[in-house]
A and B are shown apart, each in its own frame.
Chain A
Amino acid sequence: MAAAAASSCGGAGCGPHCSSSSAAAVEDAAAAAAEKVGRLSLSRECGKCGGGAAVAVAGGLGLCGECFRANLFGKFKLAVTSNAMVRPTDSVLLAFSGGPASRVALQFIHEMRCKAIESWDVSNSQALPVFGVGVAFVDESVLCSKPRDEIEMAVEDIRSIVSSFSTGVKAMHIARLEDVFSTESEDGERRLREVVDMIGDDTGREDFLRCLRMLLLQKIAMENGYAKIMLGSCASAIACHVLSATVKEHYEIDNSTQGQGYSLPADVQYVDTRWEVPVVLPLRDCLAQELTLLCELDSLQTQQHLDRPSNGINSLVASFIKRLRRTTHLYSYYYHSQEENPSREHTIVRTAQKLKPFCFNKFSADGYHDFLPSRLRPKFQKVDNDESTFSEILCLMCGSPFSESELQNLESTKHKAQKKIDLYTAHCCQSCYFQILPAGENLNEHFFSLLPKLWTGKVDTISDSHSLLRDQIEEYLLEENDDGN
């Protein structure tokens, strides 16, 4: 999908609903949902409030539109408050892709903000301000093969959706993906096309674009003073990511191979503070289906015209999850089960949650939780000693934490590296090495020369300081192959 990282399910999970939100579509959606409710032999009335026809299933009950909405908003709010995602002094940048998940995130954060303003208005102290919200859209049209005017119309749509929140949204930032390379548009476009063409593997290309998107969002947030980035990643997207990470490519270092199972827990938590600007995922407990349904019931406008079809492993995983979802319904129909048949995506996310998260998966800065009411603070004050032993070395491109073998490889390369290129390569995780980096020495060098300075600059700084240190003590260092003669 275009724009925000992981706010989709690889293009196949969310329904292919376009920006049309006519009454007919809403009725169709409601009818389809009611039929599903009937098939699961649940009551026709809303299970919660008793009034109104049940149009959706959540938590084992048929719910009317209002209760369904309240259910989803409740999940969103709980995620935000229980993980201390947004402080009153923060400015939050919402990554908006035009899809249903980020549209719902926009709607909900706006509502939360309105409620916060109301309570601020009536409160006596007015000591703490209300958080600010900005919206960012990443324009990837340079890689899109659609005609120019269609793209422009789609971007206009996005602009109009966001501008309807005139009071709530502080600012709207529409940035093109090539801006991550340099400020000049010509050079950036050429470089982006060239570097993407150098990647042979479809899945590698998609993952690389996702990393670039995150980099761009970070850039926008840093330049405009935002404290948090909010993504609309839903449970279905996380489930796809869990399965994709499990099956992704490895690289053999000295005959020991690695899947991405080590770094998987880092990407599936509510909070991710690896980046300069922390990333939060408040819609992590909501399914893509539910969000799409809510968009239809509430006539929330979405824009998915700029979605690109994906060919790699990510799309295979997304279609697999879709097939599982259909099968779950089939089995529940077959058994006329009165019990809730929990969604497969929730189970996958719950499994991933049982894996050990990293130390950067929570806010650990001193005094961060001071804004919380005192009854909630003790929950965040537990210190887990095990987590402090994890490495802080992250992959250059995707940000995955390095596992032991990758660390060992990095250490040995640091001392022996003749060229900068070896150092860059050692700073990439094994998955990126195999999927993204082109094979071949000279191609590799060219590839790294094209990468954004924000990435290669980090390695340059480290290597410069290391070589400075080495210069200072060189006369005292013995060569590794010295026999002591």
Chain B
Amino acid sequence: MCRRKAPCEGHQVLLRRDDVGTAKKAQLQLVHCSFIGEISLNLRLWKFDIRSERSGNDKGRRRRLRLRRARSSYLRRAPHHSGGHEARAEWRRRRVPFLLSSASCKILCPSQLPMDPAVDGPRQPPARAGSRLCTRCGERKAALKRPKTLEQICRECFYIVFEDEIHQTIVENNLFKPGDRVAIGASGGKDSTVLAYVLSELNHRHKYCLDLFLLSVDEGITGYRDDSLETVKRNEIQYGLPLKIISYKDLYGWTMDDIVKAIGLKNNCTFCGVFRRQALDRGAALLKVDKIVTGHNADDIAETVLLNILRGDIARLSRCTFITTGEDGPIPRCKPFKYTYEKEIVIYPYYAISHIFSCIYSPNAYRGFAREFIKDLERMRPRAILDIIKSGENFRISTTTRMPEQGTCERCGYISSQKLCKACVLLDGLNRGLPKLGVGRTKGVAGGDSDCEQQAKRPERSRSSLQGKHGNIDF
């Protein structure tokens, strides 16, 4: 969505109340326009929005109400476009405290932080001689040590170099072409939040001319996903990107809470990962996008390389370091953060993240071993993370090794190297009360009478196949 929509268009859309979707779009347009500060508001529309939106719980609604009221009362004071440069600058300055004070919006966009001394207050005093100076600009005092290179750098240069490296990655690898519709896999975690912000920034700054969307998956994990989805909804407003949420319950008939109850705390990540992958693809197909981007960072890819070596999965080892995967499949997906360190992604919003979410079921994942090892390695040699990725890229597989061939699933049509795709196999196992089906090395039925008894006792589950609500989606 282009940021520079004319205000009068926004006004016309606002008048149509019956269509919730359009009203939402109007709300977003409004937010866009409000960043420029050129429009005055219709309070009645805001109330309409409050009624039409579902909220998860009372707390959510109250939070949202506060946001709405604060914003609307604030924006009532917004200057008209005739106010001039000073008025706009004043408004911009006052908008920043708004973002800070609202209880629900704590993720700051760093480039909007006060920088200009004339508008935003006095700058930091120039660095005294003898104190550490930034190695890039040599003017400002170094505020942090860059995790990737350990160079001492000021905050502003860090933002510049961070965004620049991502821009270089995008350009050198030809990730996008103008006019592409791109869905950002947004979980509400730090990676996807920063990705949404950076991508929309770079889209605007370097004129990629992309249509960006947020695509979120609701796995149904109480105490984790419901909180992080709030963040995604906030991102939708802040960055002005339309949001689509796909839930496991709708797609498969099972939430992760149910799955964990059925199989315990081991191997649940297998289910979640397989289901999420398909969910993202289906959501992207519904949005009719050309590409999916995910926030996988350098640490994630290094861990994946190690895991694939440890598991002997040579097929995945050859693919896991590609920056774009699935180019011969339905919707390709790419990872602009492939060379970005996780620590730098945490530093970028600079203490502005109020809470970093981590999945409550993840401590038992096998990936945890690889992660610990990578963290120890990083402490010893920061560049080791990039080295692992580069090593993975340089692996050449022997021609005598048998590799799996790509086909399609007989049941749902998704890409698969076997007769049935993994999601169908896992779902089958869950519905038949054989949760170990398709997990690990056990093939076929885990025999014995005990399983049959369990099957009888298990409550009837709606046999949802993947030809569900969303129809038989052709991939």
Contacts and interface: CB of A to CB of B under 8 A. Distances in A.
B311 interface: yes
A265 B400 CA distance: 14
A356 B399 contact: yes
Nearest to A246: B391
Contact of B401 (A247, A354, A386): A354
A242 interface: yes
Contacts, number: 101
Interface in A371-407: 386, 403
B154 interface: no
B369 A259 contact: no
Interface string B358-385: 0000000000010001001100110110
Contact of A327 (B369, B377, B381, B396): B369
A382 to B, nearest CB: 10
Given A243-B306, A257-B386, A386 B394 contact: no
B380 A259 contact: no
Interface string A302-333: 00000000001100100010011001000000
A344 interface: yes
A357 B400 CA distance: 11
Q: How large is the interface on A (under 10, 10 to 19, 20 to 34, 35 or more residues)?
A: 35 or more
A245 interface: yes
A316 B314 contact: no
Given A316-B373, A316-B377, A250 B390 contact: yes
Contacts of A264: 391, 395
B380 A313 contact: yes
Contacts of B334: none
A247 B369 contact: no
A23 to B, nearest CB: 38
B395 A347 contact: no
Interface string B298-317: 00000001101111111001
Interface-centre pick from A248, A259, A320 (highest chain B CB count, 10 A): A259
Given A324-B369, A351-B314, A249 B387 contact: yes
B310 A259 contact: no
A356 B398 contact: yes
B392 A259 contact: yes
Select the residue from B309, B311, B369, B401 with max chain A CB neighbours within 10 A.
Answer: B309
A238 B369 CA distance: 20
B397 interface: yes
Contact of B384 (A249, A265, A327, A403): A249
Interface residues of B, number: 34
Interface string A246-268: 11111000000111111011000
Contacts of B177: none
9 contacts: A245-B391, A250-B390, A259-B389, A261-B395, A324-B369, A348-B309, A351-B308, A351-B309, A351-B312
Given A246-B388, A261-B392, A348 B381 contact: no
Nearest to A384: B399
Contacts of A366: none
A55 B390 CA distance: 43
A344 B381 CA distance: 25
A339 B443 CA distance: 12
Contacts of A258: 390, 394
A357 B383 contact: no
A248 B387 contact: yes
A350 interface: yes
A245 B390 CA distance: 11
A248 B396 CA distance: 17
Contact residues of A: prevailing secondary structure: helix
A324 B391 CA distance: 22
A355 interface: yes
A352 to B, nearest CB: 8
B128 interface: no
Contacts of A203: 381
Contacts of A247: 377, 381, 384, 387-388, 391
A395 to B, nearest CB: 15
A339 B311 CA distance: 17
Nearest to A403: B394
Nearest to A260: B391
Most buried by A among B369, B390, B441: B390
A397 B382 CA distance: 25
B394 A316 contact: no
A350 B312 contact: yes
Contacts of B392: 246, 259, 261
B393 interface: yes
A370 B394 CA distance: 36
Given A316-B376, A316-B380, 6 more contacts: A242-B309, A246-B391, A257-B390, A261-B392, A262-B396, A347-B310
A250 B369 CA distance: 24
A172 to B, nearest CB: 39
B395 A355 contact: yes
B246 to A, nearest CB: 33
A312 B380 CA distance: 8
Contacts of B311: 347
